[in-house]
Chain A
Amino acid sequence: DGGITQSPKYLFRKEGQNVTLSCEQNLNHDAMYWYRQDPGQGLRLIYYSQIVNDFQKGDIAEGYSVSREKKESFPLTVTSAQKNPTAFYLCASMGRGKNTEAFFGQGTRLTVV
Chain B
Amino acid sequence: GEDVEQSLFLSVREGDSSVINCTYTDSSSTYLYWYKQEPGAGLQLLTYIFSNMDMKQDQRLTVLLNKKDKHLSLRIADTQTGDSAIYFCAAGSGNTGKLIFGQGTTLQVKP
Contacts and interface: CB of A to CB of B under 8 A. Distances in A.
A35 B101 CA distance: 10
A100 interface: yes
A90 B42 contact: yes
B100 interface: yes
Interface stretch (A14-22, A65-73, A77-85, A103-111): A103-111
Interface size classification for chain A: 20 to 34
Interface string B73-102: 000000000000000101010000111111
A74 interface: no
A112 B48 CA distance: 36
B66 to A, nearest CB: 20
Interface size classification for chain B: 20 to 34
B80 to A, nearest CB: 23
A107 B38 CA distance: 12
B92 A48 contact: no
Contacts of B42: 6, 90, 104-107
Nearest to A92: B99
Contacts of A106: 41-42
The 3 closest A-B pairs by CB, nearest first: A42-B103, A43-B101, A106-B42
Given A35-B101, A101-B45, 7 more contacts: A6-B42, A42-B102, A45-B100, A90-B42, A94-B92, A102-B48, A104-B35
